[in-house]
Amino acid sequence: MRRYFGTDGVRGPVNQLPMTAEFALSLGRAAGHVLTRHLSHQPRILIGKDTRLSGYMIESALCAGLTAQGMDVLLVGPIPTPAVAYLTRSLRADAGVMLSASHNPAGDNGIKFFASDGFKLPDNIELEIEACIDNLPPLPPALEIGKAYRIDDARGRYIEFLKASLPRRMRLDGIKVVVDSANGAAYDVAPHILRELGCDVVSMFDEPNGYNINSECGSTYPEHMMRRVVETGSDIGLALDGDADRLIACDANGQLIDGDRVIAILAEHAHKHGVLTGDAVVTTLMSNMGLERYLAEHGLQMHRAAVGDRYVLEMMREKECNIGGEQSGHMILLDHNTTGDGLMTALQLLSAMTEQNKALADMASDMVLFPQKLWNIVMPERKDVLANKQVQALIADAEQRLSGNGRINVRMSGTEPKLRIMVEAEDETLMLDVGEPLTEAIRELIC
């Protein structure tokens, strides 16, 4: 049983367990002990963070715990999560850490670990760290503690890594782009790299102050970006989240292009170039049935994983697929990076538009999405709702009403105290007629 680690590291409101300075210190000591006891060299770990005010506090406490346990720490400052995955590999660190709560509000924060290969830590290592937190090992002698170093060129290294993913000598001249950085980790990197590649850039929400990350901006509030695209006559809009590991786009008409449509575009483009491994992609239980039909019409398969980029990645490696992602905008392009990367996804979209000489609206334009809606029920306390027989009966009755013309997915969020209810149907009226009463019935039962 996990006590602290969820599907995406440790996360929660700051100054409440587990996101306190004391816990971060203990976590640093536990992680330092577990990660280094099998190493024969001086161990090194890299720490990046997004732009939350609490990042300074958590970084200092975690760094203290890691160095106290004998690890050297490489501090790279505010930088996207995928940059941490890349730099951990590039700088030959033994592990990496990202301090971020992704798309959550500024009052939350999180701690996410990467292994030396840039992939997330295996479950057994996370569980070993958890077990160690309540039974901390002895501290090493005074002269065997670690050191902390600042890496000043981290953002530049990541920008060059991103540019290297494009076809040789490709430029994006003439493309007008609106980019919403969510006042987050990509506030500097995102507009910078797009301008370097020749884009005419309209930059939004790129002035973080520690409090405004994800505040009515970014991938969870794309409406501002969509309006700005139309107002400025731009070709494409790009909205990142706080740690820039997800992307939501829109076309020149201000129409939203979610993760499902992005997967369709990138998969079709890769297939035409003969580089889509397994002739398949990996998505989640939330992905639209319209995507599945569209891919099948093009001779491609779609494998569904549990919700969470951790599970998408696991299935991608199992099925030997190089493209996978979530409807919410997490795209994993294994030919380029080991985790979701919003800017990498944006560059691959722009590259496909340039190579095909097409507007974004014309790409995968014949994909018809089923009407789908997600309802959230905030839980006063975490309960095993899905084991409740009355809840199971309500879901079964709702599925019967769909009569095979849609589907229902009910799950607990892995990052927030919420029950998520997704209903999808060929007909929007049927979808709402089933979803709304089901949500209300479950809310009355469990709240």
Question: What is the DSSP-derived secondary structure letter of residue 382?
Answer: -
Q: What token pair was written down for 133?
A: 């937190």
Give the amino acid at 27.
L
pLDDT value of residue 405:
86
Higher pLDDT, 121 or 416: 121
How many CB atoms within 10 Å of residue 158? 25
Q: Residue range 264-282: average pLDDT?
A: 97
102 among known catalytic residues: yes
Q: At 169, is the pLDDT very low, low, confident or very high (cuts 50, 70, 90)? A: confident
pLDDT digits (tens, 9 = 90+) for 92-124: 999 999 999 999 999 999 999 999 999 999 889
pLDDT value of residue 40:
80
Question: SS3 for 398-425, per residue?
Answer: HHHHHCCCEEEEEEECCCCCEEEEEEEE
pLDDT value of residue 14:
98
Residue 316 forms part of a structural domain: yes
Do residues 329 and 376 share a domain? no
Give the domain extent around 272: 258-369
Q: What token pair was written down for 116?
A: 């030396």
Do residues 16 and 122 share a domain? yes
The 3-state DSSP class for residue 31 equals helix
Close Cβ partners of 321 (under 8 Å, ≥ 6 residues apart): 277, 278, 280, 281, 282, 303, 315, 334
Residue 118 forms part of a structural domain: yes
Q: What token pair was written down for 145?
A: 């503690």
pLDDT value of residue 39:
82
Do residues 197 and 246 share a domain? yes
Q: At 385, is the pLDDT very low, low, confident or very high (cuts 50, 70, 90)? A: confident
Q: Residue range 19-24: average pLDDT?
A: 98
The 3-state DSSP class for residue 250 equals strand
Q: At 3, is the pLDDT very low, low, confident or very high (cuts 50, 70, 90)? A: confident
What CATH number did the domain enclosing 180 receive?
Answer: 3.40.120.10
Q: At 37, is the pLDDT very low, low, confident or very high (cuts 50, 70, 90)? A: confident
Catalytic residue among 102, 181, 203, 328: 102
Residue 169 forms part of a structural domain: no
Do residues 348 and 412 share a domain? no
Q: Which residues of 421-438 are buried (b: 16+ CB within 10 A; e: fewer)?
A: bbbbbeeeebbebbbeeb
pLDDT value of residue 1:
66
What are the backbone angles phi and psi of residue 317, rounded to the nearest 5°?
-70, -35
Q: Alpha-carbon distance 291 to 368, whole Å? A: 8
**In the block, which residue shows the tokens 């004998």?**
70
Task: Give me the numbers of helices (H) and strands (E) for the chain, helices first please.
Answer: 13, 18
